[in-house]
Amino acid sequence: MRAALALFLALSLPAAERKVPMSLHEITLRTLDGKSQSLAAYKGKVVLAVNVASECGFTPQYAGLQKLYTDYRDRGLVILGFPCNQFGAQEPGTAAQIESFCQKNYGVTFPLFEKLDVKGAHQAPVYRFLTAKHGEPAWNFHKYLVGKDGQVLQAFPSKVAPESAELRAAIEAALK
C-alpha cells in the first residue's frame, strides 16, 4: 500500500520534478497480467530491457529476443518487454491481445509488462532510469543492457537485431 501511494505521488509531479531511480532494482511495475513485480527480483542478473510493439516493422525481433532468452537465461540473462504505443500507434492492443499475439506468433516466455510511455510527460519511472544516461528510444525495439548491479551498461537502437554479434558480445561481457 505504501509503495502504491509513493508511486501515485511520484507520478502526480511534473516530469521535471520526478526522481530518477538510482538502480533498476528500485522499480516496481505491473506485469502484463496485472501483477505487481519488483525489479529487485533481477538483482544479480543481466537484463535486456526492450520497448516492444505488435504492429511494427521490427516486430519480428520478438523471435530473436526469445532466442536470446532461451540461449542465455540459464547463464543469468532476463529480457523484459515493455509494450509501448508511442511510436506510430503500433501497440494498440489490450494486455490480453498483446500476450496472445506474443505467445501465438513468437512463443514469448520472457516477462512482459503493462503498456507504458517510454518518453514524454508521462514517461514511466523505469524509462526515466533507463534513458537518464543513454537517451530516449527513437522507435520500437530499442534495447538497454543493464548489468547485474542494476546499472545501464549500453543502449542499442532498433536496427541492432537480437541476433547481432554486437549485442551478443555485449551480453557475453556483462554475464562474465
**Single pTM value for the model:** 0.88
Q: Which of 39, 46, 56, 112 is catalytic?
A: 56
CATH of the domain at 56: 3.40.30.10
Average pLDDT over residues 56-82: 98
Average pLDDT over residues 97-103: 97
Q: What is the pLDDT of residue 67?
A: 98
pLDDT band at 21 (very low <50, low <70, confident <90, very high): confident
Q: What is the pLDDT of residue 16?
A: 42
- Are 96 and 114 contacting, i.e. CB atoms less than 8 angstroms apart? no
- Degrees (nearest 5) of the Cα angle 106, 173, 159? 45
Residue position matching grid coordinates 503500433: 90
Average pLDDT over residues 49-62: 97
Q: Hey, how many other C-beta atoms are within 10 angstroms of the C-beta on 47?
A: 25
pLDDT band at 1 (very low <50, low <70, confident <90, very high): low
> 56 catalytic, yes or no?
yes
C-alpha to C-alpha distance for 148 and 75, rounded to whole angstroms? 12
Phi-psi region of 46 (alpha: psi -120 to 50; beta: other; left: phi over 0): beta
Number of domains in the chain: 1
Q: What is the pLDDT of residue 125?
A: 94
Render 86-136 in DSSP notation, one character per residue.
Answer: TTTT---S-HHHHHHHHHHHH---S-BB----SSSTT--HHHHHHHTTT--
Structural domain for 30, as ranges: 2-175
Q: What is the pLDDT of residue 175?
A: 98
Q: What is the pLDDT of residue 18?
A: 58
